[in-house]
Amino acid sequence: MHINLKTNFLAFVLLCFAFVAQAQQKKEVTLEDIYQKGTFSPKSVYGVNWMNDGRYYSSQVADEKNSVNDIVRYDVTTGQAVNTIIEGEDLKPEGSDKPIKFDSYTFSSDEKKVLFATEKEQIYRRSSKAEFYVYDIASKKLTKLSNGGKQLYATFSPDAKRVAFAREGNMFFVDLANMKETQITNTGKFNSIINGYADWVYEEEFSFAQGFHWSPDGSKIAFYTFDETNVPEFNMQMWGELYPQDYKFKYPKAGEANSIVTVSVYNVGNGQTVKMDTGNEADIYLPRIKWTNDSNLLSIQKMNRLQNKLEILHANATTGKANVVLTETDKAYVDVTDDLIYLKDGKNFIHSSEKDGFNHLYLYSMNGKLVRQITKGNWEVSNFIGFDEKSNLLYFMSTEVSPMERHLYSIKSNGKNKKRLTTQAGTYSVNMSKDYKYYLAYHTAANTPLTVSLHTAKDGKLVKVLEDNQKLRNTLAQYDISKQEFFTMKTPDGTQLNGWMMKPTDFDPNKKYPVLMFVYGGPGSQTVNNSWGGANYLWYQVLANKGAIVVSVDNRGTGARGAEFKKVTYANLGKYEIEDQIEAAKWLGNQPYVDKDRIGIWGHSYGGYMTLLGLTKGDGVFRAGISVAPVTNWRYYDTIYTERYLKTPQENASGYDDNSPLFFADKLQGALLLIHGTGDDNVHFQNAVAMQDALISANKQFESFYYPNRNHGVGGGVTSLHRFKMMTDFLERNLINPTSEKNQ
């Protein structure tokens, strides 16, 4: 038998190459991977409740034997469970043999009792109601907080003796010694008077829902009252029944009447309620209340309707008399933050301000006299974490490394010894222990999923990595993943803009590719961050595998680059933002690897608004666009957000109309897909209806899709999968592999 060694060797080599090629062949990301299977879902460290001893935290853990959660204590230095504080099986209400299933829990200040929230119902973005139970750890007794209906924001008093809550527009508290319930207010009335929680517009735009706070000693409760009587009512229809259901709620559109808002203090001891004196003018905002360390001194922040004047008032909780201790004005607007901290010495407070052009921290005496500016530089304090008075260290997040990154720093109250505590490039958020000894660092970077690690606060030293998402990293390595790369470009007037770009993995610089631009662009926002991009980042992998380049650019008006860059859009919302996006599209079109006739744009909410402006005011630079849940005229949006940036329509009509896509529908060029949820309580479906009517009147062809009863996020169930399948198909037909000329 003759054997051809040369032929066999060649066959062996070819077989090896085949195995290597097969091993190197990577899978393509699918929409089902992202929106249905959860293939790329990262793990995190959730539900961390720091204990009084900062060495420990508690968390919910599923019981292996039962379908209930236990509350387990962990040692932060080891990450190991120390003991089970509460067995979920013990959480049985009196007369029941089944334990409750809780959504969240909070400890009393002495850590002897726990408040459990069950049967939680979401209301709006930040608001919810639930049935609350009080659990005594020593006796293992579980008691229902109230039998009068679901409660909102049940909260222990600092002395652990009582729990306050709101319900149906009124305030209540329960004495835990005897479970006696006391009603504090009786004026609450649906769609008229609210005590103890925020109305719709405060919740959405001032970012809080709970509208009451216990005094430090637990003797008083400060609470908001919203009189919505004169606020116009918005009506949505919820579909599905034989007859659609009306859903009505108070929503003040730009220029319309707001709630009349007051602040009162209830004294638990004598049952008296005193209204705080915030002045005679009713058309104002009270965006924050906060107790000082004196249980008789309440801090109230007050703004005029245009939001270009902020005052900090100190009010006597017994008499209601108040005086202004600090006033800040701005030619555009003053941003509201949570960066106000009162020092334990009772002599000083710390507050942030953009008055030197960048957001920084300032130390004031209690009478409002400036002691010193603590942080300085052409960078922003993005978040004030807190002040460890024992060590005289302030902790804050900042943009000093780059506007595209966030890092943790510490600094002395005299402004010296500033130290950067986070080391890796990217974006951090932190969860600091109550005693400032430890913090959990949540870190991501472009192309890099979440890592959660434990550190000592004074020096940032790593104690333990709690979650590195290695499983997700291994999964990503099996897929064809395009890398997110950062770049800068200059507009014709010399303004430098930051951007990122994702190219197909088989990118050939000698070919010309279609480009999809992702935009948000609203005041103070950012899409160009050195951080993990989540579901959108993965969707862009799908598009890149189909041969598209995906790009995002932060226009003027976005955040982290100082007040001047952010506030240039004041009174003229949309003008400079879309000019920059159009210039970015032209810049991209001049790159040798870009097909300038196949540039598209898409965005959601403010980004949907920008997409419509791009297609109507872009003079054909965009071939196609997808606009999701857009504002189409700022007259349709709420008072607080809109008037902050545009003044009222009565004062600045041109600012509302000059950049409303409704008035430029006849200039539409390119293919448009317009998407909106009919149950959007934020940017109402009315916006899409008005835009479609304008386009029809202009005899412009377009595609549209509505999602019944879906809210502003246009998600839930399989909605996201359905939506992104439709969006992908639209882009393939109109941008990636177009079969016809642009719509004219």
Domain ends where: 363, 384, 405? 384
The verdict on residue 262 lying in a domain is yes
The verdict on residue 424 lying in a domain is no
Whole-number Cα distances in Å, 31 to 38, 543, 626, 720? 10, 10, 17, 9
The verdict on residue 304 lying in a domain is yes
φ and ψ at 672, to 5 degrees?
-125, 135
Task: Quote the pLDDT of residue 20.
Answer: 44
- pLDDT surpasses 70 at 695: yes
Over residues 255-267, the mean pLDDT reads: 98
Task: Quote the pLDDT of residue 9.
Answer: 52
Task: Quote the pLDDT of residue 5.
Answer: 45
The CATH number of residue 629's host domain is 3.40.50.1820
The verdict on residue 420 lying in a domain is no
Where does the pLDDT of residue 739 fall: very low under 50, low under 70, confident under 90, or very high at 90 and above? confident
- pLDDT surpasses 50 at 3: no
Local structure of residue 417 (DSSP, 8 states): -
How does pLDDT run across 139-166, given as a tens digit for each residue? 999 999 999 999 999 999 999 999 999 9
Over residues 600-607, the mean pLDDT reads: 98
Task: Quote the pLDDT of residue 62.
Answer: 85
How does pLDDT run across 457-505, given as a tens digit for each residue? 999 999 999 999 999 999 999 999 999 999 999 999 999 999 999 999 9
- pLDDT surpasses 70 at 433: yes
The verdict on residue 594 lying in a domain is yes
Where does the pLDDT of residue 4 fall: very low under 50, low under 70, confident under 90, or very high at 90 and above? low
- 516 or 125, greater pLDDT: 516
- pLDDT surpasses 50 at 104: yes
Over residues 419-431, the mean pLDDT reads: 98
- pLDDT surpasses 70 at 270: yes
Residues 366, 490, single domain; the answer is no
How does pLDDT run across 343-361, given as a tens digit for each residue? 999 999 999 999 999 999 9
The verdict on residue 729 lying in a domain is yes
Task: Quote the pLDDT of residue 54.
Answer: 85
Average pLDDT, the chain: 95
Where does the pLDDT of residue 24 fall: very low under 50, low under 70, confident under 90, or very high at 90 and above? low
- 232 or 66, greater pLDDT: 232
The CATH number of residue 100's host domain is 2.140.10.30
- pLDDT surpasses 70 at 81: yes
Whole-number Cα distances in Å, 310 to 324, 638, 648? 10, 20, 18
How does pLDDT run across 159-194, given as a tens digit for each residue? 999 999 999 999 999 999 999 999 999 999 999 999
Task: Quote the pLDDT of residue 2.
Answer: 47
- Least confident segment among 65-74, 306-315, 681-690, 713-722: 65-74
Where does the pLDDT of residue 740 fall: very low under 50, low under 70, confident under 90, or very high at 90 and above? low
How many structural domains comprise the chain? Answer: 2
- Least confident segment among 88-102, 525-539, 650-664: 88-102
What residue numbers bound the domain in which 695 lies?
Answer: 483-735
How does pLDDT run across 642-670, given as a tens digit for each residue? 999 999 999 999 999 999 999 999 999 99
How does pLDDT run across 291-326, given as a tens digit for each residue? 999 999 999 999 999 999 999 999 999 999 999 999
Residues 238, 104, single domain; the answer is yes
Domain ends where: 352, 384, 416? 384
The verdict on residue 413 lying in a domain is no
Where does the pLDDT of residue 8 fall: very low under 50, low under 70, confident under 90, or very high at 90 and above? low
Cα separation, 599 vs 690, in Å, equals 26
Helices marked H in 25-97: 31-32
Task: Quote the pLDDT of residue 632.
Answer: 98
Over residues 108-117, the mean pLDDT reads: 97
The verdict on residue 34 lying in a domain is no
Residues 219, 349, single domain; the answer is yes
Residues 380, 488, single domain; the answer is no
- pLDDT surpasses 80 at 744: no
- pLDDT surpasses 50 at 78: yes
Domain ends where: 351, 384, 417? 384
User: Where do we find the tokens 């706070």?
Assistant: 213
Contacts with 653 (C-beta within 8 Å, 6 or more apart), sequence order? none
Cα 546 to its chain centre, rounded Å, is 31
Neighbours of 161 (CB within 10 A): 18
| Cβ density class 597-623: b for 16+ within 10 Å, e for less | ebbbbbbbbbbbbbbbbbbbbbeebbb
Task: Quote the pLDDT of residue 48.
Answer: 84
Where does the pLDDT of residue 731 fall: very low under 50, low under 70, confident under 90, or very high at 90 and above? very high
Task: Quote the pLDDT of residue 46.
Answer: 79
- pLDDT surpasses 50 at 742: no
pTM: 0.94
- CB contact at 8 A, 443 and 428: yes
Cα separation, 192 vs 250, in Å, equals 9
Contacts with 521 (C-beta within 8 Å, 6 or more apart), sequence order? 527, 554, 555, 557, 558, 577, 578, 581, 603, 606, 607, 610
Residues 492, 378, single domain; the answer is no
